[in-house]
């Protein structure tokens, strides 16, 4: 079984931008129930179908498959829940780990989240200066939940 162990953080400054490279993502969900999510994503010209299990701590089952870009776009346009998630994902290395910083657009504009994948939940990590509050266990920050409750609705 494929396992994803990931911690998520708010980003408190743009200091990461000078060392990062980015790629635009367009993604949507076919299922967003707590026990499983089924996501369709396009990154560049490549499509992906990803199935994730329920999160336990910072760990969950994850299966990802490459699909044609045309199929992915068709699923995003015709089958996925709305709103779609649009973001630019930036990557950079910090002290031996690859960090992914998602800058959200559309209904989730203003939200910037950093993620780091780990070998184990107990793995020690050094946090860059631009990292803010940890939100690993906060379900509001799950991309699948940003469809039902986008960031634009969080503000008073």
Catalytic center residues? 29
For residue 83, is the peptide bond before it cis, meaning its omega torsion is within 30 degrees of 0?
yes
Distances from the Cα of 58 to the Cα of 4, 51, 76, 135, angstroms: 8, 16, 27, 10
Strands 21-31 and 36-43, by their bridges, are: antiparallel
Place of tokens 């657009």: 105
The span from the CA of 56 to the CA of 11, in Å, is: 23
């Amino acid at each position: 079984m494929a396992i994803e162990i990931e911690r998520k953080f708010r980003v408190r400054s743009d200091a990461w931008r000078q060392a990062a490279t980015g790629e635009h993502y367009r993604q949507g969900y076919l299922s967003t129930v707590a026990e499983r999510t089924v996501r369709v994503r396009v990154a560049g010209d490549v499509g992906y179908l990803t199935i994730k299990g329920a999160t336990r701590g910072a760990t969950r089952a994850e299966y990802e498959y490459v699909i044609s870009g045309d199929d992915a776009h068709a699923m995003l346009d015709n089958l996925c829940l709305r709103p779609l998630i649009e973001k630019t994902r930036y990557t950079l290395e910090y002290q031996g780990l690859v960090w992914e910083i998602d800058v959200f657009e559309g209904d989730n504009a203003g939200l910037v989240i950093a993620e780091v994948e780990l070998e184990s939940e107990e793995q020690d990590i050094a946090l860059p200066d631009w990292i803010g509050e940890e939100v690993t266990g906060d379900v509001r920050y799950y991309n699948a939940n940003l469809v039902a409750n986008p960031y634009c609705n969080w503000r008073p």
